[in-house]
């Protein structure tokens, strides 16, 4: 039992660190699946543990689940150092869910036309100033959404090929060096890769700040950030 559960404890310890990005969640779960599939313990035991793991994390691993959350899969896809596994045939459903979410998020902020554009597509409507403005806005918004969708899809296809060829590379360095090529995907990628895997580290920071401001220190403000930084990084001294 110790050898069966040890990798679970190791991954839990790793994922609660502040240096782990959201994109590490799905690889960790896939690693645990491989561990239990290959373990020499009785098949009835490992199969039961594997089923329980998949049931507990179906919200991030099973796109067909009602409560599926595509954010971890999208972060996994946009991390070029880890996304190779997601391109395997058995991960096709998860890859599709991640791509759908990325395209949806990248096209949801399509820019609308300015209020100053008052011309209508039909000359007969030009004398109805407000109606013509509304019609023109609808037409331009629809065209902008289509163009934005095409741009996101094209960049995503290009990124998948580029990430496969990049190999072992730092994710943030990858996106920073290709800012001009992936201007549509870049904001979403930076947001997702900056998100931590869990709230454990943040809760530790809150607890530490609570201790530092307890009692007579409850009015401390200017030095709180410095004291918290020193406490959290004392192992580097």
Confidence at residue 140, expressed as pLDDT on a 0 to 100 scale: 62
pLDDT tens readout for residues 180-211: 888 888 889 989 888 888 777 778 888 888 88
Confidence at residue 139, expressed as pLDDT on a 0 to 100 scale: 63
Q: Compare 73 and 150 and report the one with higher pLDDT.
A: 73
Confidence at residue 221, expressed as pLDDT on a 0 to 100 scale: 65
Please, which pLDDT band fits residue 101 given cuts at 50, 70 and 90? very high
- Residue 170 φ/ψ region, left for φ over 0, alpha for ψ in the -120 to 50 degree band, beta for the rest: beta
What would the mean pLDDT of 127-132 be, rounded to a whole number? 70
Q: Compare 66 and 213 and report the one with higher pLDDT.
A: 66
What would the mean pLDDT of 84-113 be, rounded to a whole number? 82
Of 27-36, 43-52, 88-97, 215-224, the one with minimum mean pLDDT is 215-224
Look at residue 231 and tell me whether its pLDDT is greater than 90.
Answer: no
Residue listed under structure tokens 């360095």:
173
Of 146-150, 193-197, 233-237, the one with minimum mean pLDDT is 146-150
What would the mean pLDDT of 100-114 be, rounded to a whole number? 71
What would the mean pLDDT of 138-161 be, rounded to a whole number? 69
Please tell me what DSSP assigns to residue 125. Answer: G
Q: Compare 48 and 203 and report the one with higher pLDDT.
A: 48
Look at residue 69 and tell me whether its pLDDT is greater than 90.
Answer: yes
Confidence at residue 114, expressed as pLDDT on a 0 to 100 scale: 42
Confidence at residue 225, expressed as pLDDT on a 0 to 100 scale: 79
Q: Any idea where the domains of the chain sit in the sequence? A: 2-110+149-198, 201-236
Q: How far is residue 136 from each of residues 133, 142, 146, 206, measured CA to CA in Å? A: 5, 10, 16, 51
Confidence at residue 68, expressed as pLDDT on a 0 to 100 scale: 93
What would the mean pLDDT of 20-48 be, rounded to a whole number? 89
Residue listed under structure tokens 């995503």:
156
Residues facing 21 on adjacent strands: 196
* Residues 97 and 70 sit within 8 Å (Cβ to Cβ): yes
Confidence at residue 147, expressed as pLDDT on a 0 to 100 scale: 47
CA 158 to CA 170: how far, in whole Å? 18
Helices (H), the chain: 2-15, 25-38, 43-56, 58-61, 71-77, 92-107, 129-166, 171-177, 186-194, 200-212, 224-232
Average confidence score pLDDT of the chain: 80
Helix (H, G, I), strand (E, B) or coil at 2: helix
């Amino acid at each position: 039992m110790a050898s069966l559960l040890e990798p679970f404890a190791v991954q839990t310890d790793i994922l609660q660190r502040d240096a782990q990005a959201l994109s590490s969640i799905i690889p960790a779960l896939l690693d645990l699946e491989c561990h239990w599939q290959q373990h020499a313990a009785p098949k009835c035991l490992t199969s039961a543990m594997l089923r329980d793991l998949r049931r507990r994390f179906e919200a991030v691993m099973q796109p067909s689940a009602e409560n599926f959350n595509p954010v971890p899969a999208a972060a996994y896809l946009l991390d070029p150092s880890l996304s190779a596994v997601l391109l395997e045939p058995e991960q096709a459903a998860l890859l599709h869910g991640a791509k759908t979410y990325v395209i949806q998020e990248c096209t949801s902020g399509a820019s609308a036309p300015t209020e100053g554009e008052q011309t209508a597509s039909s000359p007969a409507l030009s004398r109805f100033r407000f109606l013509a403005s509304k019609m023109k806005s609808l037409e331009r918004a629809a065209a902008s959404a289509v163009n934005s969708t095409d741009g996101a899809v094209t960049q995503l296809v290009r990124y998948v090929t580029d990430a496969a060829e990049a190999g072992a590379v730092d994710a943030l360095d990858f996106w920073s060096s290709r800012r001009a090529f992936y201007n549509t995907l870049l904001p979403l990628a930076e947001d997702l890769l900056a998100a931590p895997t869990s709230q454990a580290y943040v809760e530790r920071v809150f607890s530490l700040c609570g201790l530092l401001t307890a009692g007579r220190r409850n009015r401390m403000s200017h030095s709180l950030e410095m004291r918290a930084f020193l406490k959290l990084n004392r192992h580097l001294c």
